[in-house]
């Protein structure tokens, strides 16, 4: 994994490499973090151990690197645990007894991961991508973003919020764009995609990059989904998980405005790991399911996600990327395929129905006519 690879480096060497990569001079960086250039030089040459926590925090922001990586490297530098953990233990003595209990019970790595996943699940958050024009819905979205369409007395967005909150997710953010003034729910953090006419889902997500951390579910705003889908997604212990419906073909019967060839399909292996994802339904090979527009990231997963997005953005900006004519117009599935291509495992959360996509006028009318009672109740 990316984080483990970084921990093979020394703190000072890691800082020096990042500083050069970010094109920041040694004196400039020293000035910004409030230490002498000679002190920073000694750190980079491993003549001194890592600096104090306040300096590490500044380094994290200026060099745009995850604070946990720096803290772990700082702990190694000092022959100790990471300084933020050391400080937390000092301020919370009961943590010592918890660690000792883990040691005395001889918990293995898998058991410790299960405890970590349980804690993360209780602190999960959601990010909804709602910046798009919704042009396929024609007159229905002339004055509204499509997430504000009515379904049984509640907007599509409200039904998403209800499903998330039913699963205990209260920390919810949303990326606005088209008709942004129409979305005004209280208790939501808002971000604005200021260039929504010229970009697509992938780039839209990163307008909210500062909250992409911890345990987070990211979802499209044009899908109705049952709370059971959210719960199944939360239960995934993998770093990167995509939700895939294997009972998907029936939804395309008689669907003319959004044919089956436009489905974001998935081919996965016997371990439920993605091999191919996107508009791959050519008839030449059997696809296993459809990506519903929901992805979950662990804390480690968010770091992988952000690191590779920034790397790929520099390489492909204004250039073709996967199936997109230019990087700015890339779909989330293009990015997921890129991760798979470079060897990063992406797990499939398998579901069988429990959701609907509202992409066209036809979809909207069908959803209203056959509005499922389980959605009304969820």
Q: Looking at residue 258, what is its pLDDT?
A: 86
Within this chain, do residues 148 and 290 fall inside the same structural domain, yes or no?
Answer: yes
For residue 65, the model assigns a pLDDT of: 82
Q: Please indicate, yes or no, whether residues 165 and 265 belong to a single structural domain of this protein.
A: yes
The answer to whether residue 114 sits within a structural domain is: no
Residues 142 and 6 placed together within one structural domain of the fold: no
Tell me whether residue 116 is in a domain. no
171 and 77, same structural domain? no
Structural domain range at position 37:
2-99
* Residue whose token pair is 């001194």: 48
Note whether 221 and 156 are within 8 A (CB).
yes
Contact 140, 361 (CB under 8 A): yes
Give, as one character, the DSSP assignment of residue 262. Answer: G
Which of 99, 134, 161 is the C-terminal boundary of a domain?
99
Same domain? For 138 and 217 the reply is yes
Same domain, 84 and 202: no
CA distances from 234 to 118, 242, 307, 323, 326 (A): 10, 11, 23, 29, 33
Does one domain contain both 10 and 142? no
Same domain, 210 and 314: yes
CATH number of the structural domain spanning residue 81: 1.10.260.40
Predicted pLDDT of residue 206: 96
Q: For the chain, what's the residue count? A: 378
Residues whose CB is less than 8 angstroms from the CB of residue 83 and which lie 6 or more positions away in sequence, other chains included: 50, 52, 53, 56, 71, 74, 75
Separation of alpha carbons 47 and 76, rounded Å: 14
| Per-residue tens of pLDDT for the chain, all 378 residues | 344 444 446 889 999 999 998 899 999 999 999 999 999 999 999 899 889 889 999 998 899 887 878 888 888 766 666 666 777 777 777 777 777 788 788 888 777 776 766 665 567 999 999 999 888 888 888 999 999 999 888 999 999 999 999 999 999 999 999 999 999 999 999 999 999 999 999 999 999 999 999 899 999 999 999 999 999 999 998 999 999 999 998 888 888 888 888 899 999 999 999 999 999 876 656 899 999 999 999 988 999 999 999 999 999 999 999 999 999 999 999 999 999 999 999 999 999 989 999 999 998 888 887 654 444 433
Q: Considering the domain boundaries, does residue 30 fall inside one? A: yes
Q: Are residues 78 and 130 in the same domain?
A: no
Q: What is the pLDDT of residue 262?
A: 87
CA distances from 52 to 20, 28, 58, 82, 83 (A): 22, 19, 10, 11, 8
Q: What is the pLDDT of residue 9?
A: 64
User: Is residue 112 situated within a structural domain?
Assistant: no
157 near 221, Cβ under 8 Å?
Answer: yes
| Together in a domain, 167 and 261 | yes
Alpha helices in the chain (DSSP H): 2-6, 11-21, 26-33, 37-44, 53-63, 67-77, 83-91, 94-104, 109-121, 156-166, 201-205, 227-234, 299-316, 332-341, 361-369, 373-377
Alpha-carbon span 243 to 294, nearest angstrom:
6
Of the candidates 127, 357, 164, 350, the one whose C-alpha atom is nearest the C-alpha of residue 243 is 350
Work out how many domains the chain is built from and give that number: 2
| Residue 107 maps to a domain | no
pLDDT the model gives residue 255 = 86
Q: In the numeric block, which tokens belong to residue 242?
A: 């995509």
Same domain, yes or no, for 156 and 303? yes
- Cα 123–chain centre separation: 15
Answer whether residue 126 is part of any domain: yes
Same-domain status, 91 and 177: no
- Is residue 350 packed enough to be buried (19+ CB in 10 Å), middle (13-18) or exposed (0-12)? middle
Sequential DSSP letters for 230-242: HHHHHT--SSEEE
Specify whether the CB–CB gap between 242 and 274 falls below 8 A.
Answer: yes
- Single residue among 99, 129, 154 that ends a domain in this structure: 99
> Could you tell me the CATH number of the domain that includes residue 362?
3.90.550.10
Q: Is residue 279 part of a domain?
A: yes
Of 39, 69, 99, which marks where a domain is finished?
99
């Amino acid at each position: 994994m990316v984080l483990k690879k970084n921990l093979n480096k020394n703190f000072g060497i890691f800082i020096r490499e990042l500083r050069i990569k970010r094109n920041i001079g040694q004196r400039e960086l020293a000035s910004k973090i409030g230490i002498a250039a000679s002190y920073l030089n000694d750190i980079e040459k491993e003549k001194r151990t890592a600096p104090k926590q306040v300096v590490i925090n500044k380094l994290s922001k200026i060099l745009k690197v995850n604070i946990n990586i720096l803290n772990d490297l700082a702990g190694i530098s000092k022959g100790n645990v990471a300084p933020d953990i050391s400080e937390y233990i000092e301020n919370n003595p009961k943590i010592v007894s918890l660690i000792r209990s883990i040691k005395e019970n001889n918990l293995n790595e898998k058991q410790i991961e299960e405890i970590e996943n349980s804690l993360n699940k209780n602190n999960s958050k959601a990010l909804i991508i709602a910046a798009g024009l919704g042009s396929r819905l024609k007159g229905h979205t002339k004055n509204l973003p499509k997430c504000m369409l009515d379904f049984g007395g509640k907007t599509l967005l409200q039904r998403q919020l209800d499903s998330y909150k039913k699963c205990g997710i209260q920390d919810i953010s949303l990326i606005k764009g088209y008709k942004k003034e129409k979305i005004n729910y209280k208790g939501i953090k808002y971000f604005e995609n200021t260039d929504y006419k010229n970009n697509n889902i992938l780039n839209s997500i990163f307008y909210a990059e500062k909250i992409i951390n911890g345990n987070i579910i990211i979802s499209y705003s044009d899908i109705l989904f049952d709370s059971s889908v959210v719960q199944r997604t939360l239960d995934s212990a993998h770093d990167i998980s995509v939700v895939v419906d294997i009972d998907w073909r029936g939804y395309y019967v008689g669907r003319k405005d959004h044919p089956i060839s436009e489905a974001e399909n998935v081919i996965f292996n016997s371990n439920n790991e993605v091999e191919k994802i996107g508009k791959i339904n050519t008839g030449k090979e059997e696809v296993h399911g459809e990506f519903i527009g929901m992805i979950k990231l662990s804390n480690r997963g968010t770091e992988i996600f952000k690191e590779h997005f920034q790397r790929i953005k520099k390489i492909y900006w204004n250039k073709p990327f996967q199936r997109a004519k230019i990087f700015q117009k890339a779909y989330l599935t293009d990015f997921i395929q890129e991760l798979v291509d470079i060897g990063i495992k992406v797990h499939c959360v398998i579901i069988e129905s429990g959701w609907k996509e509202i992409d066209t006028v036809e979809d909207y009318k069908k959803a209203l006519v056959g509005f499922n009672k389980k959605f009304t109740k969820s």
